[in-house]
Chains A and B, each alone.
Chain A
Amino acid sequence: MTPRYRALLAAAGFLALMLVVVALPGLIAADPLAADPFHVLEAPSGAHWFGTDQLGRDVFDRVVHGARHSLTIAVAATLLAVLCGVLLGMLAGLSHRYADEALARSFDALSAFPLILLALLFIAIAGTGPVSLVVAIGLATLPHYARVVRAQTFVVRQAGYVTQAVAFGHSRTRLVVRHVLPNVLGPVPVLAIMGLGEAILFAAGLSFLGMGTQPPSPEWGAMLSEGRNYLSVAPWVSVIPGVIVTLTVIALTVVGRHLQRRVEGRLA
């Protein structure tokens, strides 16, 4: 077994574990809000695997329950970005020259901003909170998908089967839904898996800045931010949720890259 394959297995295993944790956090962790004033800022031990925080809450329980908050935001944001990105990219790719040019330029203009500034601009308008975070991240990452799908649409619209479908006199809707859409989607799933990792980092960053889930709800970025004040005495409170974020993103990247290589291998 090559190291690459072992890494892939580990990554897939970790993601499967994350799925279980998101679906049934109560299965492996106790109440994430239960405070215990007699056990404050305790180091990791047998009783508290990840230690306790400033209110005596178990960090392991909070990390497990936090998975649902953090990952739901990232998944929802990625879905939003993929959905809108595919629609807009296809619209641009199928439009006449000027409409396409206008759309393509606005994707470019959006890409000119740092993602986090775009998200902050949206949050400044719409206010803070998880929903606003989802839309902010979705909007900021949308141009990425739209550009890829637009380029793909250009390839597909030249393809023989599309010309043939036109010659058969199929309706425009049928043409787009049955022939164009399935064929432009090719690179999207792999992009979305990699994009999900980016969205997780992003959501954690914005939550860290206090723009997302508010305390006491457990969320990885917010936990990091809360634990920051105790960094000198209890680094585990903030470092452990951060490490979990990192592991999740690494796992997604490893799986994404593997899929990418397989897709490219098939095309070549």
Chain B
Amino acid sequence: MIVLRRLGAGLVVLWVAATAAYLALLAAPGSTVDSIIGDGADTPLIRSQIVQEWNLDRPALLQYLDYLWRFGHGDLGRSYLLQRPVRDVVGDQIWPTFELAIAAALLGIALALVLALTTRRPWSRRVSSTAELVLVSTPPFLIGLVLLSVFSFQLGLFPVSGDRGFAALILPAITLALPVAGVLTQVLRDGLDRALEEPFVVTARARGLRERAVLARHALRHALLPAVSLLGWLCGTLLGGVVIIETVFGRPGLGQVTLQAVTSEDMPVVLAVVVFSAAAYVLLNTAADLALLVIDPRLRGSTS
């Protein structure tokens, strides 16, 4: 039930995103015809052909409905610049980005769990908190440049750019993962601190559980709740982060497609990326809600 309601709300977000994207397309300066022609031959005949081909002579409302209809069928239009279906342009580049985002997410989450659970003593805690503050405050591209400078240029351990197998994935994934780990560690640590003050922890300790077991088996479950709700944020951070990280490391991917589309005013591609990221956010938020139900049994009964 809660899943259905969630998906419904998600569809509304998607519809708003698609509509906003369409309005953005209308608001873009210069006529659509100019954008499509680009640097190509410009004659009245070609112009009228373009208007015909792209249905630009129909009323705006009909074009909007038409757009929604095609959108609902997964047809995102054609790229002005590349003259290919947007779905193919974006589809070709999703895999390298997906790879990078997943690697970074796993790494960031693992790092955050380890740091939050192991740095409980005052001294190690202070070191870790300072490191988190620095990671969260550092522009991601600086982390990338420093890693590149040290590990690729000085030590020659990793390739400098491109997408050549696993070795080329390591540095970008670390770069993307570090700020994520910084935020997640803070949230997890706050959650652990709060959980450790609950009465059930006293009970667990009174039963003779070792501190490590209290942390990992009892407090962690409570600390996970606020962290899991950040899943949507995580998705946004990763998708936004790849735009910069892919530039730093010269990797192909969604970020590069977006940048190219933004600089060449290839609106259908920009819109597709925007709507895609909204869809990913909705999906992950729904997943987060489901995960919360799994983690916290108290939430299961109360919602209906």
Contacts and interface: CB of A to CB of B under 8 A. Distances in A.
B158 to A, nearest CB: 13
Contacts, number: 133
**Residue among A125, A224, A254 with the most chain B CB within 10 A?**
A125
Interface string A219-259: 00100100010011001001100110110011001100000
Interface string A191-221: 0000001000100110011110000000001
A88 to B, nearest CB: 16
B149 A124 contact: no
Interface of A is mostly: helix
A120 B237 CA distance: 14
Interface stretch (A26-34, A110-118, A158-166): A110-118
Contact of A120 (B13, B137, B139, B258): B258
A117 B243 contact: yes
Interface stretch (A50-58, A75-83, A101-109, A145-153): A101-109
A112 to B, nearest CB: 5
A209 B12 contact: no
A186 interface: no
B41 to A, nearest CB: 25
Contacts of A228: 145, 248
A242 B248 CA distance: 14
A115 B140 CA distance: 14
B13 A109 contact: yes
Contacts of A242: 138-139, 141-142, 145-146
A59 interface: no
Interface in A171-197: 197
Given A112-B13, A114-B240, A117-B274, A204 B139 contact: yes
Given A224-B145, A242-B145, A250-B133, A208 B237 contact: no
Interface residues of A, number: 44
B145 A231 contact: yes
B289 interface: no
B232 A125 contact: no
A123 interface: yes
A205 B145 contact: no
B270 A120 contact: yes
Given A117-B274, A124-B262, 9 more contacts: A114-B277, A117-B273, A120-B262, A124-B265, A126-B29, A204-B139, A208-B141, A209-B247, A239-B146
16 contacts: A109-B12, A114-B237, A127-B29, A128-B263, A210-B263, A224-B142, A224-B145, A231-B149, A232-B153, A238-B145, A239-B149, A242-B146, A245-B138, A249-B137, A250-B137, A254-B133
Interface of B: 12-13, 16-17, 20-21, 24, 27-29, 126, 133-134, 136-142, 145-146, 148-149, 153, 232, 236-237, 239-241, 243-244, 247-248, 258-259, 261-263, 265, 267, 270-271, 273-274, 277-278, 281-282
Interface of A: 3, 105-106, 108-109, 112-118, 120-121, 123-128, 197, 201, 204-205, 208-211, 221, 224, 228, 231-232, 235, 238-239, 242-243, 245-246, 249-250, 253-254
